[in-house]
Structure 1
Amino acid sequence: MAAQRRGQHARLLVMMALVPLTSAANVETHLETLGFEVPLRQGERLPAWQQRHLEAPQAEPIQRASAPGIRHIREREALPTPIAQRRARYAALVEAEARRQGVDPELVHAVIRAESSYRPRAQSPAGARGLMQLMPATAKRFGVSDIWEPAENIRGGVTYLRFLLDRFEGNLRLVLAAYNAGEGAVAKYGHRIPPYPETRTYVDRVLGFLGSG
């Protein structure tokens, strides 16, 4: 295909040398005839089907969840190569599900990185499973049919995050504490992070990942 295109291009040059072209529009017409893409000139419109695509309604912008004293770091550090490769493998699933449910995709990525380092077969000693380390009871609660299937696991985890964001009014520290220890534990301690070293470490770790991916 590349050789054929180069041949066409060469023939075009010969044509241009032999036949005088009166305007830039003539040159562009020849290029388009041979299948080359030509930028639109000022005032031109795209073909109708492309114009309809561009004019289609766009998804509502995502509102980042926030809490007092917490902000997202815009310049993210480079991820270690193995994690970056695994992240890329699931990025489309995360983006689609997060946007569908109105959750910040970077929050979902930070949770997955903390929970499983993007390993779909990860399992904790307590029985949490998959990319977002869902407990079987949590998976059942949010309608996950196959806890090991990445798309299902991500859907269940994002649904849980959406539930927690609503319950704790976007307070990320409480949301993450509840994701780790359960919303009942956060309620038990007066809507504060439970005094569990593991949970406090987890909250700080995920918030740190929001600055690096």
Structure 2
Amino acid sequence: MRRLAFALATSAAFPAAAHAQEEDLQQWTLLAAQGPVSDKVVIYAELQPRFTDDVSRLGQLLIRPAIGYRLSSDVTAFLGYAYVRTEPLNGRATDEHRIFQQLSFPILKGAGGFTVTARTRLEQRTVVGADEMGWRFRQQVRAQAPIRRGGQLQAIAWTEPFYNFDTTDWGQRRGFDQVRTFIGLGVPITQGLTAEPGYLNQTVFRRGEDRVNHIASLTLFYRF
């Protein structure tokens, strides 16, 4: 129950150091592109290098393509794949393959351009050299609004708890896995290209001390 309460609390605010924890400074860059191939079908591609251990080395690389189907003008269902290469400083490197299903939909459209959207994702995870598949659920809720009425610069905040449905032979444990919370800006660069710089807090729940990563995050998103 303590872990559940902590995860729910950090969905509204940054996690506090309530008990012993390990910390790291990291930098993540997400390069993404999305666009239609027909009236209903869209494609998506993502490349995400993550520099870890006080931003001294490439600790993880993620590649994630997907295909989506527009159920309505603002609701899209996706089916995708992710390859994740992880190279810890002390430990064995792993290659992970994921299949995922995702639904993106609006929650609120308020006055002055304020919006709240959601991204629901279910992942089936396998690791090379292991036998079992892990199921994980992720729920992101994102709010954004113009900093000035009618302006293009946006204030952005989102949170995303992760929940593991099972325990596997490669290390996934049933229960809350982690929670990520972001605060930053949406900055239009050119037509179709937006940058989202900001601070991302990742708290990973573990036996013993948890791990808190303080991340300088940059997303470059191109819509074509």
Same fold (TM over 0.5): no
More helix as a share of residues: 1
Structure with max Cα Rg: 1
TM-score where L is the length of structure 1: 0.23
More strand as a share of residues: 2
